[in-house]
Amino acid sequence: MPAIITDQIKILNCANFVSGVSTSDNSYYVFVGLPDATATDGDWNSNTPSPIDNFDNYNNIFDNCLAAKKLTPSDVKRVVRKLDWSSGSIYEMYRHDYSVTNLSPQTSSTNLYSANYYVVNSDFRVYECLYNGASPANSGNGTFSTEEPVHTDLEPRLESDGYIWKYLYTISPSDIIKFDSVDYVPVPEDWGSTTATGSDVKNASVDGKISVITINDTSAASYQFSGLKENVPVKGDGFGATAAVFFTNGKPTSVTVTNGGSGYTFATLDLDSVVTGSGAVFDVIIPPPGGHGYDVYRELGAFRALLYARLENTDASNPDFFVGNQFAQIGILKNPTQPGSNTIQTQSTLNTTYALRLTGATSENLSVQIDGDLTQTIGVGSTAIGKIVNYDSTTKILSYWQDRDVATGTPTYGYTLNRFTSTPGSGGSTNVTVTTTTGTASVGIETTFTGLSTTVNSRVYYFGRTVTNGLASPEFKKYSGDIVYIDNRAEITRSQNQREDIKIVLEF
């Protein structure tokens, strides 16, 4: 049986997702990872592979994760396509009946939300095109827009170029900074509430009010009238709508709605009842449910959400975002839990790597090789191996990660992924061999150290997590939560004076 998933369920799903991010019942994190992408795939940066969506890859993503930033309610907004107004363009008009058999005239869209029927002006105001000058003379395609809409009237305005624009809302400066992008613009949250953007626009809306009637065809029209005919009734399931029709040589040449009425879900311009003749074909454009401006999410098709995260260590006590290394993977993680627990993690930032507190004569001036190896003999015939993410010679904290490659890919150390330990077994040692920029160095795990910080020259330096007996673990329970988004991209190297603004758009 033929069936479709409607656009409206997409809009509903998007609204539910935004609500889910905003509730205290959930914790959504934007994470970064995969610091050695080109070692995995030498062609990664020039031919970045598509992510793999299966449980096996999810586990690998967890292993390669570096850090995560929690999303707050102010970090997510519904967005729509960004269509900048430009003089000399032909914009499509809002219609209620675009379909596979009634394509939009400019973009050949089969549905309203793919048509270019709204714009953002140079002052970040959003307008909907209710009429674009479409007539039989231009085959219904419309005319060029030459006058930028700038008004904030609650009623649609007819401009000198023949376009009718409906003002919807102005994007706030704070939303421009966080949510404006090349392709998308944000839609206000809580549309129409008494304290939110759009309350006046929503309050001015009238369900089923007619704003536009177009002339489709006059080739067979023959009326015994010239000039302006007023009070032409609009018939349908609503009431009160009337129009004025101008005639030239017995043919209608323009229609102006003089009273929009209310309650229409279908309508016909009943010209033949007031003028002798026949033959003209008209379309009465039906507004969306509630009227123009009542529900901006439905009217503009807000089935996309933009999530914003800034990667920077703003708090000295929480240095979770490394510098000097790369990341090549971005994702969204829902509801990871606290280490060793099923309680949802709520920290604002997470360091998701392992770490060692080093000791030894060379640990203060150790220059490690990023993505190089570190190894520890933990017992007879058992070796732990990891890959270096970062080393801070001031705090003596070396961060690393371990994935399946350090077991299956290195048979020299055995096929078991062993963890580093401060209590090695018989035949083991707390010494660690580290790959440096010039070779290797042997240092030790400071097994007597436990704490969140260290003091050097009277200054406190924080680790961003607790070190216990010289070891630190990820600040979330590995493999917990749901990975709901994955994005592979060319490597990005982080530096001390750098911050990244990450904007992720999810389409439902």
Place of tokens 């083991």: 428
Place of tokens 């970062």: 390
Please report the pLDDT score of residue 196 as a whole number.
Answer: 65
At residue 5 the predicted structure's pLDDT band, cuts being 50, 70 and 90, is confident
Please report the pLDDT score of residue 363 as a whole number.
Answer: 82
Sorted by sequence, the CB contacts under 8 Å of residue 490 that are 6+ apart come out as: 44, 45, 46, 48, 328
- The answer to whether the CB of 186 falls within 8 A of the CB of 18 is no
At residue 495 the predicted structure's pLDDT band, cuts being 50, 70 and 90, is confident
Distances (CA, A) of 162 to 23, 145, 232, 260, 281: 46, 8, 21, 19, 20
**What confidence tens digit (pLDDT) does each residue in 451-493 have?**
999 999 999 999 989 999 999 999 999 999 999 999 999 998 8
Count of other CB atoms within 10 angstroms of residue 447: 17
Sorted by sequence, the CB contacts under 8 Å of residue 30 that are 6+ apart come out as: 68, 69, 71, 307, 309, 330, 331, 332, 502, 504
d(CA 465, CA 105): 59
For the segment(s) 7-76+307-352+476-507, the CATH number from 2.60.340.10, 3.40.640.10, 3.60.90.10, 1.10.357.10 is 2.60.340.10
At residue 494 the predicted structure's pLDDT band, cuts being 50, 70 and 90, is confident
Count of other CB atoms within 10 angstroms of residue 102: 10
At residue 290 the predicted structure's pLDDT band, cuts being 50, 70 and 90, is very high
Reading the block at residue 246, the tokens are 């101008």
What rounded mean pLDDT belongs to the chain? 93
Give CA 166 to chain center in angstroms: 26
**What confidence tens digit (pLDDT) does each residue in 117-142 have?**
999 999 999 999 999 999 999 999 99
d(CA 390, CA 285): 62
Give the SS3 label for residue 125.
Answer: strand
- What's the angle, vertex CA 226, arms to CA 223 and CA 231, rounded to 5? 85
Please report the pLDDT score of residue 324 as a whole number.
Answer: 86
Position 96, amino acid: H
Residue 194 pLDDT > 70, yes or no? no
Distances (CA, A) of 130 to 84, 126, 147, 210: 16, 13, 15, 10
Kindly give the residue spans of alpha helices, DSSP state H, lying in 310-376.
none
Please report the pLDDT score of residue 499 as a whole number.
Answer: 81
- The answer to whether the CB of 467 falls within 8 A of the CB of 357 is yes
Give CA 417 to chain center in angstroms: 37
From-to residues of CATH 2.60.340.10 in the chain: 7-76+307-352+476-507
**What confidence tens digit (pLDDT) does each residue in 141-158 have?**
999 999 999 999 999 999
Reading the block at residue 139, the tokens are 């085959």
**What confidence tens digit (pLDDT) does each residue in 316-345 have?**
667 888 888 999 999 999 999 999 999 999
Give CA 468 to chain center in angstroms: 38
